[in-house]
Amino acid sequence: MRVRFAPSPTGTLHIGSARTALYNFLFARHTGGSFVLRIDDTDAARSDAALEASIMTDLRWLGLAWDEGPDVGGPSGPYRQSERLERHRAAAAELLAAGRAYRCFCPEERLEELRREALAAGRTPRYDRRCLDLPADEVRHRLDAGEPAAVRFKVPSGEVVVDDLIRGRVVIGADALSDPIIVRSDGVAGYNFATVVDDRDMGITHVIRGDDHLTNTARQQLLFEALGAPVPRWAHHSMVLGPDGGKLSKRHGATAVGDYRELGYLPEAIVNYLALLGWSHGEDEVLELERLVRDFDLGRLSPSPAVFDLAKLGWLDHERIMALAPQEHERRFAERLPAGTPAQAAAALAAAFQPSLVRYGDAPAAAAEVLAPPPPPPDLRAAALAAEPQLAHVRALRAEAPEWLTPAGARELLAAYRAWGKEQGIGARALLMPLRIALTSAEHGPELPFVLAALDRETALARLDHTLAGPGESTPKPGDQP
Ligand code: GLU
Ligand 1, atom 6, residue with closest C-alpha: 6
- List, as one string, the DSSP characters of 260-280: HHHTT--HHHHHHHHHHTTS-
Q: Is the dihedral of CA 435, 437, 438, 439 positive or negative?
A: positive
Residue 340 and residue 242 in contact, taking contact as beta carbons nearer than 8 Å? no
Ligand 1, atom 10, residue with closest C-alpha: 7
Per-residue pLDDT averaged across 445-459, rounded? 98
Q: Are 265 and 337 contained in the same domain?
A: no
CATH of the domain at 395: 1.10.10.350
Mutate to test the pocket of ligand 1, among 2, 3, 8, 192 (most ligand atoms within 8 A of CB): 8
| Residue 8 beta carbon below 6 angstroms from any ligand 1 atom | yes
Q: Looking at residue 175, what is its pLDDT?
A: 72
CA distance between the termini of the chain: 59
Q: Looking at residue 470, what is its pLDDT?
A: 80
Which tens digit of pLDDT belongs to each residue from 237-248?
Answer: 999 999 999 989
Structural domain for 64, as ranges: 2-238
Q: Are 185 and 255 contained in the same domain?
A: no
Please report whether residue 33 resides in a domain: yes
Pairing, β 306-307 against β 159-164: unpaired
**E-assigned strand segments in 211-344:** 233-237, 240-241, 306-307
> Would the pLDDT of 201 be above 70?
yes
Please report whether residue 245 resides in a domain: no
pLDDT bracket for residue 380 (50, 70, 90): very high
CATH of the domain at 314: 1.10.1160.10
Mutate to test the pocket of ligand 1, among 209, 216, 221 (most ligand atoms within 8 A of CB): 209
> Would the pLDDT of 126 be above 50?
yes
Indicate which atom in ligand 1 lies nearest the CA of residue 208. 8
Task: Quote the ligand 1 centre to 173 CA distance (angstroms).
Answer: 22
Per-residue pLDDT averaged across 447-473, rounded? 92
B/e letters for 356-388, b = 16+ CB within 10 Å, e = fewer, are ebbbbbbbeebbebbbebebbeeebbeebbebe
CATH of the domain at 137: 3.40.50.620
Task: Quote the ligand 1 centre to 215 CA distance (angstroms).
Answer: 13
Q: Are 338 and 319 contained in the same domain?
A: no
Per-residue pLDDT averaged across 1-24, rounded? 97
| Residue 206 beta carbon below 6 angstroms from any ligand 1 atom | no
Indicate which atom in ligand 1 lies nearest the CA of residue 20. 8
**E-assigned strand segments in 297-436:** 306-307
Q: How far is CA 434 from CA 165, 229, 359, in A?
A: 64, 78, 30
Cα separation of 55 and 62, whole Å? 11
- List, as one string, the DSSP characters of 363-378: HHHHHHHHHSPPPPPH
Please tell me the number of Cα atoms within 13 Å of 175 on its side-chain side. 3
Q: Looking at residue 279, what is its pLDDT?
A: 85
Per-residue pLDDT averaged across 91-114, rounded? 97
Q: Are 106 and 208 contained in the same domain?
A: yes
Indicate which atom in ligand 1 lies nearest the CA of residue 199. 9
Averaged pLDDT of the chain:
95
Which tens digit of pLDDT belongs to each residue from 139-165?
Answer: 999 999 999 999 999 999 999 999 999
| Residue 219 beta carbon below 6 angstroms from any ligand 1 atom | no
Q: Looking at residue 482, what is its pLDDT?
A: 45
Which tens digit of pLDDT belongs to each residue from 182-198?
Answer: 999 999 999 999 999 99
Q: Are 306 and 394 contained in the same domain?
A: no
Please report whether residue 244 resides in a domain: no
> Would the pLDDT of 180 be above 50?
yes
| Residue 237 beta carbon below 6 angstroms from any ligand 1 atom | no
Q: Are 385 and 470 contained in the same domain?
A: yes
Q: Are 179 and 316 contained in the same domain?
A: no
pLDDT bracket for residue 282 (50, 70, 90): confident
Task: Quote the ligand 1 centre to 6 CA distance (angstroms).
Answer: 5
| Residue 6 beta carbon below 6 angstroms from any ligand 1 atom | yes
Q: Are 300 and 354 contained in the same domain?
A: no
Question: What are phi and psi for residue 153, nearest 5 degrees?
Answer: -85, 135
| Residue 7 beta carbon below 6 angstroms from any ligand 1 atom | yes
Ligand 1, atom 7, residue with closest C-alpha: 6
Task: Quote the ligand 1 centre to 169 CA distance (angstroms).
Answer: 21
| Residue 195 beta carbon below 6 angstroms from any ligand 1 atom | yes
| Residue 209 beta carbon below 6 angstroms from any ligand 1 atom | yes
* 424: amino acid identity, one letter: Q
Task: Quote the ligand 1 centre to 117 CA distance (angstroms).
Answer: 29
SS3 content of the chain, % helix, strand, coil (to 5): 50, 10, 40
Q: Looking at the 3D structure of the chain, how many domains does it have?
A: 3
Task: Quote the ligand 1 centre to 46 CA distance (angstroms).
Answer: 15
Q: Is the dihedral of CA 463, 465, 468, 470 positive or negative?
A: negative
| Residue 213 beta carbon below 6 angstroms from any ligand 1 atom | yes
Please report whether residue 243 resides in a domain: no
Q: Looking at residue 472, what is its pLDDT?
A: 61
Quick one: what percent of the chain has pLDDT higher than 90? 90
Please report whether residue 372 resides in a domain: yes
Q: Are 80 and 37 contained in the same domain?
A: yes
> Would the pLDDT of 200 be above 90?
yes
Q: Looking at residue 281, what is its pLDDT?
A: 75
Which tens digit of pLDDT belongs to each residue from 317-371?
Answer: 999 999 999 999 999 999 999 999 999 999 999 999 999 999 999 999 999 999 9
Q: Are 138 and 112 contained in the same domain?
A: yes
Mutate to test the pocket of ligand 1, among 17, 202, 213 (most ligand atoms within 8 A of CB): 213
Q: Domain boundary residue among 238, 262, 287?
A: 238
Which of 277-286, 361-370, 461-470 has the least mean pLDDT?
A: 277-286
Mutate to test the pocket of ligand 1, among 195, 199, 208 (most ligand atoms within 8 A of CB): 195
Q: Are 12 and 152 contained in the same domain?
A: yes
Q: Looking at residue 283, what is its pLDDT?
A: 81
Which tens digit of pLDDT belongs to each residue from 221-266?
Answer: 999 999 999 999 999 999 999 999 998 988 988 899 999 999 999 9
Q: Looking at residue 478, what is its pLDDT?
A: 46
> Would the pLDDT of 277 be above 60?
yes
Task: Quote the ligand 1 centre to 3 CA distance (angstroms).
Answer: 12
Please report whether residue 48 resides in a domain: yes
Please report whether residue 215 resides in a domain: yes
| Residue 421 beta carbon below 6 angstroms from any ligand 1 atom | no
pLDDT bracket for residue 477 (50, 70, 90): very low
Please report whether residue 365 resides in a domain: yes
Q: Are 339 and 461 contained in the same domain?
A: yes
Task: Quote the ligand 1 centre to 223 CA distance (angstroms).
Answer: 16
| Active-site residue list | 250
| Residue 317 beta carbon below 6 angstroms from any ligand 1 atom | no
Q: Is the dihedral of CA 48, 52, 55, 61 positive or negative?
A: negative
**Which residues are CB-neighbours of 48 under 8 A, at least 6 positions away?**
9, 10
Task: Quote the ligand 1 centre to 8 CA distance (angstroms).
Answer: 7
Indicate which atom in ligand 1 lies nearest the CA of residue 5. 8
